[in-house]
A and B are shown apart, each in its own frame.
Chain A
Amino acid sequence: MTPRSRSMFWRIFRQLLRASRGRLIVALIALSSGAAISSALLNINLDAEQKLTHEFRTLGANVVVAPPSSGSDAALADAAIMDHIVEPPAPQIIAAAPYLYVAANSGAQPVILAGTWFDQVAKMNSWWKVDGAWITSREDRLHCLVGQAAARQFGLAPGSQIDLRAGERSVSLTVSGIITSGGAEDSQIVTSLDIAQNLAGLPDRVSLVQLSVSGTPAEIETFTSHLATALPGLEVRPVRQLAAAEGSILARINGLILWTIMLILVLTTLGVLASMAALAMERSRDVGLMKALGGSVERIMHLFLAEAAALGVVGGTIGFAIGIVLARWIGGRVFGVAISPRWPVFPATIALAVGVALTGALPLRLLGRVRPAEILRGE
């Protein structure tokens, strides 16, 4: 096309847009709406993995480090392994809590005592319900937390005293809070690691270490392998059920979002198709005339396809902008944190909107089959 022909092309193009603005605005609204929801969902999809893996990390440990035969009482690790785990600090470790389990008695009744680092347990199990006060200091030697089943068994409440004995050693602690975890901790007494080690006479020993590690299942596997290499003689294993469940949830959310986007794009295409069908009816006489004047189908269709593509670009841009707002709002409602815009979503939204607009412009493309003699006769 020569520059002068190009100039005429854009001249006709502008007049075409102006003449059909009513129908084109309807198509643009459909396109922008579809692009907005698609863009918001794409943004959420890209952010969901990070947001959800972060959320999952409040649901307890997903990696456990323990001696090979941790089922036996004798299998204990040196507490120094904590130095290997937390130094140098690995950014993906959300929390790391050593545990020493001790079989103790309160009066004549046996009870399991779990010695740990309270600050780390709090980070790892933020969903635990505590009646009373949480213990914030790792070094606290005066207080303990009591599982709700154990509290019922021993008749304990926040502020109560409990005497614990293991062999010849004993300790007296004040109950700071009653915990409800829904797990084994409900029937245990949780103390600081020091107290458990002193009571058991096992200084510098731990039964296991629980870790909360952020990342996708694959990233966690990689982290686990590296840690296993750094801790020879110990088993480092992901909590597989949790990892698999997380992976499955992520995959399902991913699939759900992608299918929803596809469905929205189909509905958007139908909306655009309806507007374009009406437009095609209005333009059939003009196309017949253009063909009678010697206009080739290609030249006429270039006009209509350029119009559809322009509609897609404008609709995609508007949709992307609305999609950012929508994603922030949905992110705030669902994850409690606004979802930040992902710029690769912009070209993807434009491409989707242009694709939808060109598909929706099918009735205009069919105008290429118009027979000018019939149209000019008014048939």
Chain B
Amino acid sequence: MAPLVQVEDLEKRFDAVRALGHVSFEVESGEWIAIMGPSGSGKTTLINILGGLEHPTSGRVVVDGMEIGQLGERELTRYRSDKIGFVFQQFHLVPYLTALENVMLAQYFHSITDEKEAAEALRRVGLGDRQEHLPKQLSGGEQQRVAIARALINHPKLILADEPTGNLDEENEATILHLLRDLHSAGHTILVVTHSQAIGNLADRRIELEHGRLARISVPVRSGAGST
């Protein structure tokens, strides 16, 4: 079976600045990948390209059989709503919509809304009693859990999380990691950008970037495998 994600010789330039260069890797369906590296190494750019928010400058990026670089604006929009579930460091909830409506918003853009399903998604992340709360009435951890419920609601092929615990305290970080672990166990494919060694150690593999280049792909020590 073809890998879910294929990245071949990916390059991304912002004018004269090269954010990514000669990056190649593959991700199998159901894998949990941690993308690590220092600030400015190109992690978020990579996630944005995989999520269809940026076009690659050159190289091939294929997700679930769709080559990102070949997609027009409309197709990219469809790609994002069909295949991708985003979780951002800043949560990025719509401030004037309730938790339930934020989840339903993703349904609305994808196809049709189903309030019961959205409520169930919130219950799964432990927010069954917070559905009618606005983001400002929720803690950071709760907002991130709403974002995770929103990311999952359309059953995406790929969950892209950019520093999902970066703005959370230890307790909330543990809750989010627990959720990610559950998602992984349920067979979801997850790519997480993180600085956290703890999250990196939970992943199946770690992709490390340095100065926009792929430095190494490694399997965390707990698995007993070495670097490739």
- B82, B90, B108: the one contacting A12 at CB < 8 Å is B108
Given A4-B114, A16-B96, A296-B74: A290 and B105 interface contact (C-beta under 8 Å): yes
Q: Report the minimal beta-carbon distance from A7 to chain B, rounded to whole angstroms.
A: 7
Is residue A5 contacting chain B, with contact meaning CB distance below 8 A?
Answer: yes
Is residue B78 contacting chain A, with contact meaning CB distance below 8 A?
Answer: yes
- A285, A286, A299: the one contacting B109 at CB < 8 Å is A299
Q: Report the minimal beta-carbon distance from B106 to chain A, rounded to whole angstroms.
A: 5
Given A5-B112, A293-B86, A373-B54: A12 and B105 interface contact (C-beta under 8 Å): yes
Given A12-B97, A12-B101, A286-B94: A292 and B106 interface contact (C-beta under 8 Å): no
Q: Report the minimal beta-carbon distance from A372 to chain B, rounded to whole angstroms.
A: 5
0/1 interface trace, chain B 149-182, chain A, CB 8 Å (1 if under): 0100010000000000000000000000000000
> CB-CB < 8 A to B78: which residues of A?
294
Q: Roughly how many angstroms separate A292 CA and B112 CA in the complex, as a whole number?
A: 18
> CB-CB < 8 A to B88: which residues of A?
376
> CB-CB < 8 A to A2: which residues of B?
112
Complex contact A292–B113 (CB within 8 A): no
> CB-CB < 8 A to B92: which residues of A?
285, 289, 292, 376
Q: Report the minimal beta-carbon distance from A59 to chain B, rounded to whole angstroms.
A: 62
Given A289-B92, A376-B53: A294 and B110 interface contact (C-beta under 8 Å): yes
Q: Report the minimal beta-carbon distance from A37 to chain B, rounded to whole angstroms.
A: 33
Q: Report the minimal beta-carbon distance from A75 to chain B, rounded to whole angstroms.
A: 86
Is residue B48 contacting chain A, with contact meaning CB distance below 8 A?
Answer: yes
Q: Roughly how many angstroms separate A272 CA and B42 CA in the complex, as a whole number?
A: 42
Is residue A334 contacting chain B, with contact meaning CB distance below 8 A?
Answer: no
> CB-CB < 8 A to A12: which residues of B?
97, 101, 105, 108
0/1 interface trace, chain B 64-82, chain A, CB 8 Å (1 if under): 0000000001100111111
0/1 interface trace, chain A 1-41, chain B, CB 8 Å (1 if under): 01011011101100110110000000000000000000000
Q: Please, which residue of chain A has its CB at the minimum distance from the CB of B44?
A: A377
From B77, B80, B104, name the one whose CB has the most chain A CB atoms within 10 angstroms: B77
Q: Roughly how many angstroms separate A81 CA and B27 CA in the complex, as a whole number?
A: 107
Q: List residues of A (115-162) whose CB comes within 8 Å of B's CBs.
A: none
Complex contact B101–A291 (CB within 8 A): no
Query: Looking at chain B's contact residues, is the secondary structure mostly helix, strand, loop, or mixed?
Result: helix
Interface size class of A (residues with CB under 8 A): 20 to 34
Is residue B51 contacting chain A, with contact meaning CB distance below 8 A?
Answer: yes
Q: Roughly how many angstroms separate A265 CA and B1 CA in the complex, as a whole number?
A: 64
Q: Roughly how many angstroms separate A285 CA and B96 CA in the complex, as a whole number?
A: 13
Q: Report the minimal beta-carbon distance from B102 to chain A, rounded to whole angstroms.
A: 10
- A4, A297, A299, A372: the one contacting B53 at CB < 8 Å is A372
0/1 interface trace, chain A 292-314, chain B, CB 8 Å (1 if under): 11111101000000000000000
> CB-CB < 8 A to A296: which residues of B?
74, 77, 109
Q: Please, which residue of chain A has its CB at the minimum distance from the CB of B73?
A: A297
Q: Please, which residue of chain B has its CB at the minimum distance from the CB of A288?
A: B92
> CB-CB < 8 A to A291: which residues of B?
77, 80
Q: Roughly how many angstroms separate A9 CA and B51 CA in the complex, as a whole number?
A: 25
> CB-CB < 8 A to A372: which residues of B?
53
Given A5-B108, A12-B101, A12-B108: A292 and B86 interface contact (C-beta under 8 Å): yes
Q: Please, which residue of chain B has its CB at the minimum distance from the CB of A14?
A: B96
- A7, A286, A299, A373: the one contacting B48 at CB < 8 Å is A373
Q: Please, which residue of chain B has its CB at the minimum distance from the CB of A17?
A: B96
Given A15-B97, A294-B78, A295-B77: A8 and B53 interface contact (C-beta under 8 Å): no
Given A289-B92, A296-B74: A4 and B109 interface contact (C-beta under 8 Å): no
Is residue B95 contacting chain A, with contact meaning CB distance below 8 A?
Answer: yes
Complex contact B82–A294 (CB within 8 A): yes
Q: Roughly how many angstroms separate A5 CA and B110 CA in the complex, as a whole number?
A: 10
Q: Roughly how many angstroms separate A16 CA and B95 CA in the complex, as a whole number?
A: 10
Complex contact B53–A373 (CB within 8 A): yes
From A2, A7, A8, name the one whose CB has the most chain B CB atoms within 10 angstroms: A8
Q: Report the minimal beta-carbon distance from B159 to chain A, rounded to whole angstroms.
A: 13
Q: Report the minimal beta-carbon distance from B146 to chain A, rounded to whole angstroms.
A: 13
Could you list 16 A-B pairs, sorted by A, with CB under 8 Å? A4-B113, A4-B114, A8-B104, A8-B107, A12-B97, A19-B95, A286-B95, A290-B94, A294-B77, A294-B81, A294-B84, A294-B154, A295-B108, A296-B77, A376-B53, A376-B90
Task: Contacts A15-B97, A296-B77 known; list 19 others, CB within 8 Å.
Answer: A5-B108, A5-B113, A11-B101, A286-B94, A289-B92, A290-B105, A291-B80, A292-B86, A293-B109, A294-B77, A294-B78, A294-B110, A295-B109, A297-B73, A297-B77, A372-B53, A376-B53, A376-B90, A377-B44
* Shortest Cβ-Cβ A-B pairs, 3 listed: A294-B81, A19-B96, A373-B53
